[in-house]
Amino acid sequence: MSPPKERVRIAAIGDLHYARPSRGSAQPLLARIADEADILLICGDLTDYGLPEEARLLAREISGAVKIPIVAVLGNHDYEAGAPGQVREILSDAGIVVLDGETCEIHGVGFAGIKGFGGGFGRGTLGPWGEQTVKAFVREAVDEALKLETALARLRAPHRVALLHYAPIAATVEGEPREIFPFLGCSRLEEPLTRFPVTAVFHGHAHHGRPEGRTRNGVPVFNVSLSLMRAIDPAAVLQKLSGEKRGPGGGGIHDHAGRRRRTSRAGHSAGPRRAGIAAGAPVTSGSEFDPLPIGKWKVTGIARRPAFHYNPDSFWDADPSHAKATIKPGSNNPVGSVWIDISKPHYGLHGSPEPSRIGKSESHGCVRLTNWDALRLAALVRPGTP
C-alpha cells in the first residue's frame, strides 16, 4: 500500500487491443500518461486476441514507458484465446495489478475491479428464464456484480474507484447501435455502485459510446475506450478525485458547488446563409462576483491545447502571495483542451479539466464546457462567428 496523497491524478484508458503488429505503438501514449498522472487504470481488452505473446509484448512496452502504479481488469478480447490466466500472470509479473473481484489501495484511493458482463439495461435486461443457456448467461452477469459488491465492501479508503470492462449504465454506450447494447454491459453491474460510497467508475468496451454518464444515485461513470478518447480529447481521460483548491501551479480558478445547470448555444454564419444555432451544451457560466457578460460578441480566434497564463491580479479571490505562472497544455490546464476567444477582452469559451463539475460550479465569467463539447464547438465556428 503506497502512502496517501492530498491530490491524486488518475489516468484511465481501455481497449488497447495490443497485437503483434502493434509493437512500439503503445509506448508514446503510455509515456505521456505517465508524465501527467499518478496512477494508470486500464479497463480491459489489453490484448487483441488474448494471446500470451501479445501480453508479453505489451508488458515489455509498459515496463519501458510507465513508472507509475497500474491497475487493470481484463476484457472479453483477453479471453478469446482461452488463456486469461496466462495473460493475467504475464501482466502481473510486469508489475500491473490485475483485479478480478479483488481490491487494492494506492495513494489513499481504493480500487475494486471486475471484467463485468453483458445482459442489457433497464427494462431490457435479460432475465433468468427458459433454457439453461440463457440462465447461465444471466448468472455470469450476476456473479460479476456480486464480485464487485464484495470488493467494494472490503474497501475502507475515503475514495473508492470501480473499474470494469463492460458498462454498468446505458448512458455511456449511447452512440453504439442499439441492437448491440445487451453485449456492451448490464444494469446488474450498477447495483453494487449504488450501495457503497463510490467516487468514480471507469469502463471501456463501448468504442463509439459517450464519454460520461451517471448512475441513478449520481456517481460519475466514464467510458475511456481508446477509440472514443481519440475522437474527443486524451485529456478527458484524466480525472481528479481530490476536491482541494489548487495553488498557483494549477491556476487561480476555484469552483464552488451549487451553481445551477445552464445550456450554452453558439451561432454560426457561413457566407449568405442566415445565422443560426451551431451547438448546444451544458456549461458553467459566471458567478455572483464575475457574472457572464451580456452582449453580442464574435469569435476572434481558436487555440487548441492552449497554455494558461495565470495572473493573480485578474482574479478577485486569488491568493496575493501567488506569482504569475504559465501552465502548460495538458490535463491540469484550467482552460482545458481548447480556448475560443471572443471580442470581449479577457473572456472566452473553453474546456475544463473537471468535466463532472460542468453545470454545478461557478466560473470567473467565461463559459466553461467539457473538453469534448468545447472541441465540438470549436469545429463548428470560426473567427467572425457571432
- Over residues 293-313, mean pLDDT: 81
pLDDT at residue 348 tops 50: yes
| Amino acid in position 12 | A
| Amino acid in position 217 | N
Length of the chain measured in residues? 386
Do 248-380 and 9-240 fall under one CATH topology?
Answer: no
Give the range among 90-94, 156-160, 365-369 with minimum mean pLDDT.
365-369
* Cα-based distances in Å from 52 to 26, 33, 98, 100, 242: 17, 25, 15, 18, 37
> 333 versus 118: which is more confidently predicted?
118
- Over residues 82-103, mean pLDDT: 96
What pLDDT was estimated at residue 145?
97
| Helix axes of 52-65 and 84-93: crossing angle, nearest 10 degrees | 20
Identify the CATH assignment for 248-380 out of 3.30.300.20, 3.30.1490.20, 3.40.640.10, 2.40.440.10: 2.40.440.10
Give the range among 208-217, 220-229, 296-305 with minimum mean pLDDT.
296-305
What pLDDT was estimated at residue 354?
76
- Over residues 249-275, mean pLDDT: 34
What pLDDT was estimated at residue 289?
60
What pLDDT was estimated at residue 249?
27
Give the range among 119-123, 159-163, 280-284, 375-379 with minimum mean pLDDT.
280-284
| Amino acid in position 103 | T
What pLDDT was estimated at residue 1?
61
- Over residues 66-88, mean pLDDT: 96
Q: Do 30 and 131 meet the contact criterion of CB atoms below 8 Å apart?
A: no
| Amino acid in position 182 | P
Q: Which helix (H) or strand (E) holds 133?
A: helix 132-154
What pLDDT was estimated at residue 282?
77
Per CATH, which fold does 9-240 belong to? Answer: Purple Acid Phosphatase; chain A, domain 2 (3.60.21)
Express as a percent the part of the chain with pLDDT over 70.
80
- Over residues 365-382, mean pLDDT: 80
Grouping H, G, I as helix, E, B as strand and the rest as coil, residue 199 is: coil
Say how many C-beta atoms besides its own lie within 10 A of residue 220's C-beta. Answer: 17
- Over residues 161-180, mean pLDDT: 96
Range among 25-34, 116-125, 281-290, 347-356 with highest mean pLDDT value: 116-125
Q: Is 28 exposed, middle or buried, given 0-12, 13-18 or 19+ CB atoms closer than 10 A?
A: exposed
What pLDDT was estimated at residue 116?
97
Question: The C-alpha cell of 125 is what?
Answer: 435486461
Mean pLDDT of the chain: 82
Task: Identify the band that residue 287 occupies on the pLDDT scale cut at 50, 70 and 90.
Answer: low
Beta bridge partners of 213: 221
What pLDDT was estimated at residue 320?
73
The domains of the chain are located at 9-240, 248-380
Give the C-alpha separation, 164 to 97, whole Å: 14
Task: Identify the band that residue 256 occupies on the pLDDT scale cut at 50, 70 and 90.
Answer: very low
Task: Identify the band that residue 35 occupies on the pLDDT scale cut at 50, 70 and 90.
Answer: confident
Q: Do 139 and 97 meet the contact criterion of CB atoms below 8 Å apart?
A: no
**CB neighbour list of residue 267: distance below 8 Å, 6 or more residues apart:** 275, 276, 277, 278, 385, 386
Give the range among 34-43, 105-114, 144-153, 313-322 with minimum mean pLDDT.
313-322
Give the C-alpha separation, 253 to 245, whole Å: 9
What pLDDT was estimated at residue 343?
87
Long-range contacts of residues 351-357, Cβ cutoff 8 Å, at least 24 apart = 351/233, 351/235, 351/375, 352/284, 353/235, 353/238, 353/240, 354/239, 354/240, 354/255, 355/211, 355/212, 355/236, 355/239, 356/200, 356/212, 356/220, 356/239, 357/255, 357/284
